[in-house]
Structure 1
């Protein structure tokens, strides 16, 4: 049985297509790409990977009864992230932090992913030709991407309990393609968690220092065509 366990969302039996995609080289590559970019270089405990996050996004969409297509889109949404994640955006002076999005189609099409999709009667167009509402909505609306990285980080880095996260997750449901909560208190709690994520982690002086030093080094390397 294809059972996957995640501490945030529990145990799930996965379809074979999801298992094949998870085992594919493009997904396995994400085990070596840290969610926080340069963070782990200045604090070894800041080591959550894009692989963990990507599977988490897929599982949250699944928990919310999103379609299999949207689960696949969630699983693969970060597949084109380069080494050090968003540090490359700083190095290239890309204010929108969307370099990985600009190369997404090429990375996917040049990989094993289209072949895996075709074996299960899906196409690239089926998965990547639309915006998926559970996966990606602009703030202040909730989306699976933002929920997962926030909760995953605050548990690992901010000493927030799994029980508190589970209480929030269990309050979630989908209404008219929006992720909503049945509890105002839980919504306020999540806003506080997201503030902790931004202020205490993203803007942590050590984190900012790591980003600035590495992005400067990468910029010099790019200019000298070392990489």
Structure 2
């Protein structure tokens, strides 16, 4: 039987046994129950891309771009330590760099069946610490992780079409360890799409409200010792069930209000209740021009303007007043 997997963005792939074994492992399967958007699906069911879909998507994208089997393995496993509700834990712990999953990555790997699976195929966990340039790059560069979560979320939300996503992927290439796009128009399209993700979506009032509301619930549950930090390695439903099982009236009421939110959110700096500043995420793709790579912002005033607007929006953050109806 062939190891065939299908992705709703990238199409069909026949995979090596090691990838299939890793996909079927408990740590990767857990990611089916971890929403990439954190708490957002509790208030908007359409915001429902999972870490599982993203992890396979990164692997598929690396494969599509010609990355090695080792880099595909690293891509598949790169988010395996994401906790329930993804980055909500960073709000709970007040970590502005949103890096708790990175801190516990090695511990999660070593405490699982993944090292044994890798060993069966002649690999050690040290390969996960290699610098794979398709998988990860520092901002403002393109990389498979950044590209996949942007295209996947925006496609799921109907902000872009599959044809647009595929056209952009066809423009990608790499040179001296850097991903670039072949045309300035392709760069402009991705910059616009990326800011739909990290500004319009991440800082959407409903998303901001859901993060703050759920982080308050989980903070109280930690303080009351209803949950402990290891419980964050459950999936979303598992963690929320444990929180609710205790019966604390304040938590029960807050969860019900979050799941059935019917109020109004007003963006105002007067008498606001919530102020959320997002991690600064700016994108500035490299473009091949006359045989050399140039930043898109150097070539385009429009892209410079989009970057400046995104910087100002992210730095200011969102101020919200919640009106209960």
TM-score normalised over the length of structure 1: 0.97
Classify the secondary structure of the residue corresponding to 2:163.
helix
**RMSD value over aligned CA atoms?**
0.9
For residues 33-182 of structure 1, the aligned pairs below 5 Å read: 33-125=34-126, 127-182=127-182
* Alpha-carbon shift at residue 5 of structure 1 (Å): 1.4
The whole-number CA distance in structure 2 between the counterparts of 1:95 and 1:158 is 29
5+ residue gaps, structure 1, are: none
Larger CA Rg, structure 1 vs 2: 2
Show CA shifts across 1:22-65 (max 9, x none).
00111000000000000100111111000000000001011111
Q: Which moved more, 1:154-163 or 1:68-77?
A: 154-163
The whole-number CA distance in structure 1 between the counterparts of 2:45 and 2:99 is 26
Whether 1:216 aligns to 2:216 is yes
* Alpha-carbon shift at residue 182 of structure 1 (Å): 1.2
* Alpha-carbon shift at residue 189 of structure 1 (Å): 0.2
Classify the secondary structure of the residue corresponding to 2:174.
strand
Whether 1:195 aligns to 2:204 is no
Classify the secondary structure of the residue corresponding to 1:34.
coil
5+ residue gaps, structure 2, are: 228-325
Classify the secondary structure of the residue corresponding to 1:95.
coil
* Alpha-carbon shift at residue 129 of structure 1 (Å): 2.6
Paired residues in the alignment total 226
* Alpha-carbon shift at residue 131 of structure 1 (Å): 2.2
The whole-number CA distance in structure 2 between the counterparts of 1:99 and 1:140 is 21
The whole-number CA distance in structure 2 between the counterparts of 1:93 and 1:198 is 19
Q: Which has the higher helix share?
A: 1
Equivalent residue for 2:247? Answer: none
Classify the secondary structure of the residue corresponding to 1:168.
helix
* Alpha-carbon shift at residue 4 of structure 1 (Å): 1.4
Classify the secondary structure of the residue corresponding to 2:180.
strand
TM-score normalised over the length of structure 2: 0.68
Equivalent residue for 2:28? Answer: 27
Show CA shifts across 1:83-109 (max 9, x none).
100000100111111111111111111
Q: Which has the higher strand share?
A: 2
The whole-number CA distance in structure 2 between the counterparts of 1:121 and 1:80 is 23
